[in-house]
Structures are given as C-alpha cells and as structure tokens.
Structure 1
Amino acid sequence: MIDIRRFRGRRRLTVVGLVATAGVLLAGTALAESPAAAAAHKEALVPGTPCTVSAKSCVDLDSQRAWLFSGGTILRGPVPVATGGDGQATPVGHSLRVYRKDANHKSQESRLPNGAPAPMPNSVFFEDGGIAFHSGSPSRSSAGCVHLNPDDAKAWFDYLQIGDKVQVVSAKAEMAARGGH
C-alpha cells in the first residue's frame, strides 16, 4: 500500500507502514524521492558542502555544521551547530524557506527554570512548528531548532531574508542519492 499526504509542508510517503519524510526511502527495491529532493539532486553542490547552489543556508545533520551561501559561494562557515534531540529532530528538507524573523523571540515551547519563556535571540524561522536558526549553545541539542553561537546567529539573522531557501540534509544520504559523488 502506498499513501502520499502532506505533512508539515513535506510529502509523507507511507509504504507498508514505513514513513519517509527525509526525501528518500528504500522499501524492498522501490526508491521514493520527494520532488524537492529529486530537483536538488540534479543541481550542482556548493563545493565542500552537501547543499546545492540555489540554497542560501545549509545545515549538515551528520557533521553538525552550517554555512551561508551567495550564488554558490560560501560566505560563512562551516560553523558548529546543534540540532534537534530528545525525540524532536530537526526536519530534513531541500527547499525549506525563511518565513519569519524575530530578533527578540521568546519560545512558547521551552521554558526557563522560573517558568518564563526561553529566549531565542536572532530567530530565523524556516519550517512549520517554530523551527528556526537562533542563538543557543552548539553543544546542546535543541527542540528541533538549529542552535548557533551568538555571533553566527547574528550573521544568519542579518543575511537571510524572507523567502530564502534553506537546506537541512544528511551529507551521507545526499552522497548516496547522487551515486556517491
């Protein structure tokens, strides 16, 4: 049985009870790839990264590093990041888009020990569910967001604009999807 539905802005493909939201799923001998992933795999990569030349920002979940790009050239990076943990993975995507920026955002999901909303300075939101780049410790996993050092978070906030493409990928999966090159 195959069931394709929209889920948090991505296609969800269910094959015999398995769910693929990362773009590629091997089920027996069948290979399913989202349209965004298929298009990305036809594009050139920014040298030294797992992301394509049309992206403005790239996150590699494998190495926990991120970059800023302009026209296929690295402007900043690689910089260390921390992505989701504790069952709240950072969503994978090839054509995520910046949809909101808030320099002084306060989390509605995470709380400080005193119960106050946790600060998320220099937030750049790029995925449904409040997923954002923001200032936070790159040595502590987030609730799906991408933590950057304060100087890097400011650079991401200043550079990225509404509508800019963000790619969050696994370098290993990207290389495998491109036939190892």
Structure 2
Amino acid sequence: MAVGGGTAQAAPACTSGTGPYQKQVEKFLGRTVDGRQSVNDCKAIRAFQTLHGITPSAGYAGSLTWQTMNTILQQRAAKKNPNAAGNCPTNKGRIACVDLTRQLSWIQDGRTLKFGPVPVRTGKDGSETRTGAKKIYWRNIDHVSSIYKVKMPYAQFFDGGQAFHSTTKSMWNPPGSAGCVNMRPAEAKTYWNLLSNGDDVYVWGRKPGT
C-alpha cells in the first residue's frame, strides 16, 4: 500500500514503439541516431521521463518528452547572453526577466547580467503566468499558500498572487505551476537576496504547451 492508504501503482511497461520524435530524442540523450526504438533507447528515455515527472514514463519518444528536451536545449544555448534578442528592458536598472518561451529567468542591471540565466517552471495551460511589466510588491520568506496550502519559500510577489518562489519539483515537470514562477531552492534564495520591494519584473513570451 502507498502512504496514505492508496494502492501503489506499477510503472507502465517499457514501450517498444518508435515515437514521432525518435531521432531528436536519441540525439539529445547521446544515443545512436537511427530513428528506431531499442530496449536501451527505451530505458534512457524512461529515465529522463521519470526524473522530470513526465507521464506515462514508458520510454516513448512523444511530443511532451521532445518539447521538454527542446526547452532544455534552448536554455543551454542562452548561456551568458540570455537577452541577446533584447526582449527584456535595459533602461530600468535592476530588473528580473522572465522568458516564458524558453522557461528562463535572470536578473540584469541595464545591459549587465547580474545572475542567471536559470531554468524556471511557469504557469500551466489555463493558469498562465501573466505577461508584461510588473514590480515586486510583497515578500515573505516562509510563505504558505492560502489557496493551495503548500509552502512557497522565498516568495516574492509581483502580480496579483503570482510570485517567484522555491519548489522541490523538477523545473521541467509538466504541465507547470498555477501561475507562479517556480525556481530551484538555491536560485530562489539568490533572487531573494538580490531583489527588493519595488524592483522591476518583466515577463514575455509563451510557455510551450499553453
């Protein structure tokens, strides 16, 4: 029995089916790129899915798995120049930038990168993180959501209940948050130390899958 009295569910069987994104997924995982599912391909895909909470974790190279991998590739490409396209304003001094399309955030001061970029987990379909120019208006280091009854450490609110805050979930865990910008604990703490009430936040783009 699972904790709480529920019945434990067995993991789905590893699939032998070749997925529509087989070659892309094989390349991402460093497998032989032949576009044909193998037992070892399935095991590698399944490990990736399990790590990031992608269900069913049956090793199938489907659209959600590739979408997640493609987002990771875009994040890696950002490196130390995440604002190369100039989407985040450079005329506001210190500002926290949130790129929904690449699921990335960073802090810059003018054109100078101060921290990041770091992966984030933003609002799911129907609960999207709202775009536009914002300001941090309230901070609570030990916040607990009154709606969802979950802990939101290092919460920094910038738009009607939407906030930067720490989570223990994978940043690539679908479908996403309830609208907040989730961050890994160490990075949420750094944001807490670098930002203050009144600091600017700018959100743009569109999260994959929304």
Is the TM-score greater than 0.5? Answer: yes
Counterpart CA distance in 1 for 2:86 and 2:118 is 12
Question: Equivalent residue of 1:102, what SS?
Answer: strand
1:152 equivalent among 182, 187, 190: 187
Partner of 1:176: none
Partner of 1:118: 150
Instruction: Tell which structure's C-alpha radius of gyration is larger.
Output: 2
Alignment of 1:97 with 2:129, yes or no, is no
Partner of 1:77: 116
Alignment of 1:108 with 2:146, yes or no, is yes
Whose helix fraction is larger, Structure 1's or Structure 2's? 2
Distance 1:52 1:156, change over 3 A: same
Counterpart CA distance in 2 for 1:168 and 1:156 is 16
The aligned amino acid for 1:139 is W
Length-normalised TM-score, structure 2: 0.53
Question: Equivalent residue of 2:145, what SS?
Answer: strand
Moved beyond 2 Å, runs of 4+: 45-50
Ranges in structure 1 where 5+ consecutive residues have no aligned partner: 1-44, 111-116, 172-181
1:139 equivalent among 172, 179, 182: 172
> Number of matched residues?
119
Ranges in structure 2 where 5+ consecutive residues have no aligned partner: 1-81
Counterpart CA distance in 2 for 1:126 and 1:160 is 11
Whose strand fraction is larger, Structure 1's or Structure 2's? 1
Length-normalised TM-score, structure 1: 0.61
Sequence identity of aligned pairs in percent?
38
Counterpart CA distance in 2 for 1:85 and 1:158 is 27
Structure showing greater relative contact order (alpha-carbon pairs closer than 8 Å, 6 or more residues apart): 1
Counterpart CA distance in 2 for 1:52 and 1:71 is 8
The aligned amino acid for 1:109 is I
Instruction: Give how far 1:87 is off.
Output: 1.2
User: RMSD between aligned alpha carbons?
Assistant: 1.8
